[in-house]
Structure 1
């Protein structure tokens, strides 16, 4: 919800300005950012940072939850990690912040990570997989808020203790934003706290 909210508010203030949103993995987008093809990245920040030529700024802490379809067999139950590990999972590729947190969630409990028959970083694709199967995933509730409100998907487990990821903005070091870009950054920061 963060980026659409900020982009809509920015567009209302600067209706004549074209906005281009490019989706992709961090690995796909970091070089275009470094080359100046993109102004900024919004998403999970990397630890450690991706290099001295870029800088990261925190917007908020995200607390992902376990998500499944609305009529998933585990819905409404108190589910421990061993039970969750007995179901198939779809989650982002190794090395991404969400995948690392997911692995840590099981490792901290002394449980081997479940199989991930489908690696996927696309929320739209994950949503469809969940709707048509017993798969589970770990996502921010904001990423599937509409699906949760429509009772298509359900929270199967709350945020595991201590599990969070940092969402923020990545820019080139020394980036000198224009006045409009500064306004967008302020709108984005305001949207992150509302």
Structure 2
């Protein structure tokens, strides 16, 4: 069963507080950090940044995510995982430079002494990435949780595991000194418990 701690946390919170309203805003870290700083958002959940992006925000770890290489179900490399030289010969769709996932992707090739392949498409939208993968030989690096339905339906395939040690920390980012309400504290506690489970 794929891990989906955010969805589990939201579901548990809604059961406990059925009259509450929850707004989930999706976007890149770059798009969401300023609304967080301005108080428009209560907190961010996603890949933590290293270093922390300023002393006006703080980060708390939830869990370690281990991305895998993903391609379409009948990708030519489906039965040849682990050959980074062959992986580098295919086009990649990956998040923008500076994001934790892009940095891990670059490290995957650089640590093997292989020049990073071209990235004809930079994208952080899982929906868009999924559609491009289904219709091409593109590869990407994603958490299996992000495409769990597509993997289960065998529309996409895990082409291979990246080198050991390639991971990113998923967590919560808040404003420094932010004082959550009792309901917000309960939600964060449920999110933390879902991540542990």
The TM tier, using the shorter chain, reads over 0.9
> Deviation above 6 Å: which 4+ runs of structure 1?
none
Alignment of 1:73-92 (within 5 A): 73-92=76-95
Give, in whole Å, the separation in 2 of the partners of 1:177 and 1:79: 45
Please report how far the alpha carbon of residue 78 of structure 1 lies from its aligned counterpart in structure 2 after TM superposition: 3.4
Output one character per residue of 1:52-73: Cα deviation in whole Å (capped at 9) or x when no partner: 1110000011111100011111
CA drift at 1:9: 1.2
| Residue 10 (structure 2) pairs with residue 7 (structure 1) | yes
Residue matched to 1:168: 171
Report 1:1-194 matches (<5 A): 1-194=4-197
* Structure 1 portions without partners, runs of 5+: none
SS of 1:167's equivalent in the other structure is strand
| Alignment partners' CA distance in 2, 1:28 and 1:135 | 26
For 1:78 and 1:57, locate their aligned partners in 2 and report how far apart those are by CA, in whole Å: 34
Q: Deviations over 1:153-184 (max 9, x none)?
A: 11001132211101000001111101100000
CA RMSD between the two structures: 0.8
Aligned-pair CA distance for 1:5: 1.6
Given that 1:65 and 1:160 are in contact with CA atoms closer than 8 Å, whether structure 2 keeps it comes out as: no
Q: CA-to-partner distance for each residue in 1:109-158, whole Å, 9 max, x for gaps?
A: 11010010010000010000000000000000111111111101110011
TM-score of the two chains, using structure 2 as the length reference = 0.96
User: 1: CA distance between counterparts of 2:176 and 2:185?
Assistant: 15
2:47, 2:100 within 8 Å by CA — same for their partners in 1? yes
